Amino acid sequence: MSSAPGEEVLSAGPADSTATMLEVRDLSVEYLLERGTVLAVDRVSFDLAAGEFVGIVGESGCGKSTLLFAIAQLLAPPAEITGGSVIFKGRNMVGLTDSELASVRWKDLSVVMQSAMNALNPVKSIQAQFADAMRAHGVTSKAEIADRSAEVLRMVGIDPVHLGSYPHQLSGGMRQRSMIAMAMLFTPDLVIMDEPTSALDVVAQRSLMVQIKELQEKLGFAIIFVTHDMSLIRHFSDRLMVMYAGVVAEYGQTGEVFESPMHPYSIGLMEAFPSIRGPRVPLTGIPGSPPNLARIPPGCRFAPRCPKVMARCEAEPPGLYQVNGRLVRCFLHEGGRAQP
Amino acid sequence: MATVRTPAGASDTGPGQPAGPAGPAAAGLPLGGGGGGVTGARSMRRMGRAITANRKATVGVVLLALFIFVGLFPGLIAHDNPQAEIYPRSLGPSAQHWLGTTSFGQDMFAQVVWGTRPVLLIAFGVGILATVVAMLIGVAAAYLGGAWDGTLNVITDVLLVIPLFPLLIIIGSYLHGAGTAVMIAVIAATGWSYTARQLRSQALSLRTRDFLNAAKVRGERPLYIICVEIIPTMTSLLVAAFLTNALYAVLFSSSLQFIGLGNPNVTSWGTMLYWAENNEAFQTGLPLWIIVPGLCIVALGAAFALLNYAFDEIGNPALRPVKRMAITKAGAVPIPEKRRRLRVKRTG
Amino acid sequence: MTDPAALPGGAPGPADNTVADNGASGGPLLRTEGLTKVFKIGSAMSKKLALHAVDDVALSIGDREIVALAGESGSGKSTIARLLAKLYKPTAGEIYFQGRPLSQIRGHRQVLRYRGDVPMVFQDPFASINPVFRVSHGIMRCLKLHRPELSAAQRHEEAERVFAAVGLTPAAEVLERFPHELSGGQRQRVGFAQALAMRPKLILADEPVSMLDVSIRIGLLNVMADLRDSQGVSIFYITHDLASARYVADRLIVMYAGQIAESAPTEEVLTRPRHPYTQLLLSAVPDPRAPLNVGAETDRGEPPKVINPTPGCRFRWRCPLAIDECQHVTPPLRELLPGHSAACHVARADAPTEAFR
């Protein structure tokens, strides 16, 4: 399922969008282990416009978190970016040193992690952590730090009286919100979120998603949101990318991907969610497991589990084909390839 | 209502990538395999590969093997009777006497070689005995909890707090010269507390693991759970405890013998030091009498210590030094230390 | 396997309003009365704080049915599972299994019998199987302990049979693997196979699919439904995911802060909830097929940790319908309709609640 070089990329965002803020081209990430290399992300390309909300969904091992960290330049050995570029506001971030990245980090691009309890410093108060972050980026005035801290907390719906609290004194939902507040300190243009709601209960999850969406509409930043829960993202993201085994399986407008999924994996994934309303129907899920990324089979990576597999799929990896504004990596839609 | 049978052949068979943390986060293979159902040959091969791959392990194993060989077959290496005072006294090293002779006329080389066995006996004896006691007490305390835990903890802590060496001196002088067996018993009886603590902590962290609850819910008795379910998962810690105890046994027993509390008629490195000191070996021009046994003690201790570090790294992949690799035409190639750039760590 | 001698026909359908199927003994398979579990927390010196994990819970499970217990974390659902599995002792109240109180089950043999009748499947597929042994170890132990009449060869056969029954094929080959060689979904199937090997009457499943990938969950849920239909086993399915509860369960119990909020046949609860909390939960469940419900986002509350509680409804701080009585009197679990109970002062028998529309 590896893409052919120079193949097309869906151009960014809705028709009336302005500048393309992020261009990811042929990004590949490998885990370089002594016993061999594991290709976690294989030549992924996509664009992101200012203010756009892109969701990346996939199951364990599909590479979505690795992709996210690669974009944020947060990979540590043995993971390495082994190819491609991440052009953020005209500048390729791959290969920049930490000091070069420092000017971009948190001011233009910030990251919200999966578990606030892991990402927040347990021995420092929220206030101290916000102050830390601001001082690291050149803000020295105590008054300014205090004002901004209170302001971002209010933005996420937390009473600033909690500034003096420690992370363990806050509830799970409040901790996640403070993480988001911290990410908002410099009103970045792009916020990357790695499953920020998965540690929360369903009610807290819902209210956090709505909060994020409101913030985005108010402040106008773009979001890349990684999750394994498609149904969560359905009403919030503009476009949706479905990843499988390190490659993009499908990419398009969220609503369209949900209404009429094209890739057999997306179809299977949609149907694996039992519905809380509507008719009760028996479902089958997707039998089998994702492939071992250390030994990638030739041909399509989804072929062993695909209900619509053809002989060709096992021999040859499909390219990414464009069909009515949707990108699908499947031979079934090969006919839709637009003329170069 | 769902009344679907699992479709035939649609089971998720095939190993594939385990559903879990993204990336090749390897489930750390348990060291040595453990109990029932594991073929000995397979785990031996795995251990062998692990040892040759790790430098510390290789050095440690080679050293230890050397000493074990000498301890098992001293007669092959040194032909003289170490106790026989038949040679001219205080000779320097020569072709007939590689290390010279003592001021009693004994061949020093023979002494060193024959002195290996008692030291090894004490090291392994204490290692095994102290580890077994520590294991039973530590794990039982953690698993049984409550009043059991409280009582066993008090006992462990008391022993932990009492300074070990003075305690050994008192016991040793009370026993008027400890032979090998007594030495083993005494050092093991006083030294188990440290590793008991460690094993208890490990067992405590395991207590909340669901497979122990699963064993309980399937009806297993507590003793079975402790012996069959908990302990085999702690093999790497038990190996570490053994090596720690063996190391301390070597050092403490030699020290006791040095100050004269061992049995001076048993030839071992510690007693050699004792006699050498009593006969003012340095001043009378026989420095090897002190230096060589001292070096042997250090070397054996180092062997155990190296193995301890090595098994830590083998058992816990997270502790291994991460080699940075570069992509060259030849494939992935390790980057030498100096050229590494500092990067922000990513967890998970 | 359950003796089908006096079972009423089939599993109850959505229209069935009985609270529980009555088994051969004339009562439900498992029933609790006033079940309470209080943990003493606080520093080691002064354990004065009482955490009421489970408070005065009355529920029942019949033959051949899947009952789902849904609630957020901290609601007490895992504690109930462990109480039913006899991993904890109740602080107060009683559990009756086939009419017999659990407190009277003493002695290794009787407890073993109960464990064989009511086994448990755990949540974390990576922590619930001992990593140093092959997969066959656990199931062989189950068989040795609970089916002593089988010979070694018969045990092997039985192990293969139950593995095949949960979809782990080829059974003989999977039995010889180590846990780290299996995927999460396969490991959970092993958990169910072990439970099945003991010929249980009721399987306690504590969030068995929460840690699995979405596409694998359905497979496990189908296994559970199949166990009920073809093996006649009841399942007590604990989850925080209402959608999966709807998929497999015949009846649904909703818990909040250690108490039961609502209990009724699944469709009833989900379409016509009587308790405001149930409605809040429903509105928060993401459903890709439905348009976005802008109803309940303003709720920012979280379930409380119930420490030294005072009387009164524990949902009162978040409930838009709270009246004066809710502040002072703990609402009892009342049967509003046959088979449909709710613990709410303002719940009405004739219409669903309108708290979070």
- C92-146 confidence digits (pLDDT tens): 999 999 999 999 988 899 999 999 999 999 988 888 898 888 999 999 999 999 9
- pLDDT band (50, 70, 90) for residue C208: very high
pLDDT average, residue stretch B216-225: 90
pLDDT average, residue stretch C233-251: 93
- pLDDT band (50, 70, 90) for residue B321: low
Q: How many CA atoms lie within 13 A of A79 on its CB side?
A: 26
Q: Residue C284 pLDDT > 60, yes or no?
A: yes
A80 and B327 in contact by Cβ < 8 A? yes
Percent with pLDDT over 90 in chain C: 52
Using CB atoms, pick whichever of C243, C291, C300 lies closest to residue A275: C243
CA torsion angle for B274, B275, B277, B282 (degrees, to 10)?
Answer: -140
Using CB atoms, pick whichever of B10, B18, B346 lies closest to residue A69: B346
Give pLDDT tens digits for C310-340: 889 999 888 888 889 889 999 999 999 999 9
Rounded Cα–Cα distance for residues B248 and B127 (Å) = 9
Q: Residue C265 pLDDT > 90, yes or no?
A: yes
Distance from the B23 Cα atom to the nearest Cα atom in chain C, whole angstroms:
14
**Do residues A28 and A204 lie in contact, with contact meaning Cβ atoms separated by under 8 Å?**
no
Using CB atoms, pick whichever of B6, B38, B218 lies closest to residue C142: B218
Rounded Cα–Cα distance for residues A35 and A294 (Å) = 9
Rounded Cα–Cα distance for residues A126 and C109 (Å) = 55
Short-list B265, B264, B300, B258, CA closest to B281? B258
Mean residue pLDDT of chain B comes to 76
Rounded Cα–Cα distance for residues A91 and A89 (Å) = 6
Best B4, B11, B212, B238 residue to mutate vs chain C (most C CBs within 10 Å): B11
Mean residue pLDDT of chain A comes to 85
C198 and B218 in contact by Cβ < 8 A? yes
User: Other C-beta atoms within 10 Å of C4: how many?
Assistant: 10
Structure tokens at C277: 């909390």
Best C75, C215, C216, C279 residue to mutate vs chain A (most A CBs within 10 Å): C215
Give pLDDT tens digits for C157-170: 999 999 998 888 88
How many beta-carbon pairs below 8 A join chains B and C? 141
Percent with pLDDT over 90 in chain A: 35
Percent with pLDDT over 70 in chain B: 75
Surface-to-core class of residue C91, CB atoms within 10 Å of its CB (0-12 exposed, 13-18 middle, 19+ buried): middle
From chain B, the residues in CB contact with C142 under 8 A are 218
From chain A, the residues in CB contact with B327 under 8 A are 30, 32, 80, 82
Q: Which residue has the tokens 């949902």?
A: C315
Beta strand ranges found along A219-325 (DSSP E):
222-227, 239-244, 247-253, 321-323
The alpha carbons of chain C give a radius of gyration, in whole angstroms, of 21
Structure tokens at C96: 């009756």
Q: Residue C82 pLDDT > 80, yes or no?
A: yes
Q: Residue B48 pLDDT > 60, yes or no?
A: yes
**Do residues B67 and B115 lie in contact, with contact meaning Cβ atoms separated by under 8 Å?**
no
CA torsion angle for B98, B99, B105, B106 (degrees, to 10)?
Answer: -80
Rounded Cα–Cα distance for residues C316 and C322 (Å) = 6
- pLDDT band (50, 70, 90) for residue B337: very low
Name all chains with 3 or more CB-CB pairs below 8 Å to chain A. Answer: B, C
Q: Residue A54 pLDDT > 50, yes or no?
A: yes
- pLDDT band (50, 70, 90) for residue B14: very low
Q: How is chain B split among helix, strand and coil, in percent rounded to 5? A: 60, 5, 35
Using CB atoms, pick whichever of B4, B10, B22 lies closest to residue A65: B22
Q: Residue C295 pLDDT > 70, yes or no?
A: no
C168 and B217 in contact by Cβ < 8 A? no
Highest mean pLDDT among A54-58, A59-63, A293-297, B237-241: A54-58
Give pLDDT tens digits for A162-203: 888 898 888 888 888 899 999 999 999 999 999 888 878 888
Give pLDDT tens digits for A56-107: 999 888 889 899 999 989 888 888 899 999 999 888 888 888 888 888 888 8
Where does chain C have alpha helices with state H?
Answer: 77-84, 108-117, 135-146, 152-165, 171-175, 184-197, 214-231, 242-248, 266-271, 276-284, 324-328
Q: Which of the two residues, B96 and B178, has the higher pLDDT score?
A: B96
Q: How many CA atoms lie within 13 A of C323 on its CB side?
A: 6
Give pLDDT tens digits for B56-110: 788 988 999 999 999 998 888 887 787 878 888 877 888 878 888 888 888 888 8
| Confidence at residue B39, expressed as pLDDT on a 0 to 100 scale | 44
Rounded Cα–Cα distance for residues B339 and C152 (Å) = 61
**Do residues B6 and C229 lie in contact, with contact meaning Cβ atoms separated by under 8 Å?**
no
pTM reported for the whole predicted model? 0.79
A258 and C288 in contact by Cβ < 8 A? yes
Give pLDDT tens digits for C27-70: 789 999 999 999 887 666 666 788 899 999 999 999 999 999 99
User: Other C-beta atoms within 10 Å of A297: how many?
Assistant: 14
Alpha-carbon torsion C144, C149, C153, C157, what sign? Answer: negative
CA-nearest residue to B216 within chain C is C87
For residue A164, how far is the Cα from the chain centroid?
31
| Confidence at residue B43, expressed as pLDDT on a 0 to 100 scale | 60
Q: Which of the two residues, B14 and C342, has the higher pLDDT score?
A: C342
Does the beta carbon of B34 lie under 8 angstroms from any beta carbon of chain C? yes
3-class secondary structure, B163: coil
Give pLDDT tens digits for B199-218: 888 888 887 788 888 999 99
Name all chains with 3 or more CB-CB pairs below 8 Å to chain C. Answer: A, B
Rounded Cα–Cα distance for residues A230 and A78 (Å) = 29
